[in-house]
Amino acid sequence: MSMIEVAASGDVKENELLTVKGGGTPLIVTRIAGKVQAFSSKCPHLGMSLARGTVKDGAVTCPWHGSRFDICTGQNLDWCNAFAGLPLPTWSHRLIAMGKKPAPLPVYEASEENGKVFVRLPG
């Protein structure tokens, strides 16, 4: 599939999450070390929105249950260790996971050209 324009370059800021639509698909774009990155706005755990997640050290943390993902690769770094931003004891993590196994965050190729941000979605 071809690259889809999703935002103006100036709207995509370092470590800030910008929710956009790419071909009808809700996405989040951000900038890590100066390079634009794009990923699914839905958390792989329960599909809830990552729009209010936090970004630190190139990773996004889900605001709902604390799962954390590398923004550049999608790799899962932590899985269901919090509730609404509050850390939970280790024994409760499996309860919070509700039977879901750790999964990666879908990430998409992103680039910039002429002041615009483009994302390539799977065909």
Question: What does the binding site for ligand FES look like in residue numbers (CB under 6 A)?
Answer: 43, 45-46, 48, 62, 64-65, 67, 80
Q: How far is the CB of 1 from ligand FES (least distance, A)?
A: 27
Is the CB of 62 or the CB of 71 nearer to ligand FES?
Answer: 62
Q: How far is the CB of 73 from ligand FES (least distance, A)?
A: 18
3-state secondary structure the chain: CCEEEEEEHHHCCECCCEEEEECCEEEEEEEECCEEEEEECECCCCCCECCCCEEECCEEECCCCCCEEECCCCCEEECCCEECCEECCHHHHHHHHCCCCCCCCCEEEEEEECCEEEEECCC
Is the CB of 91 or the CB of 115 nearer to ligand FES?
Answer: 91
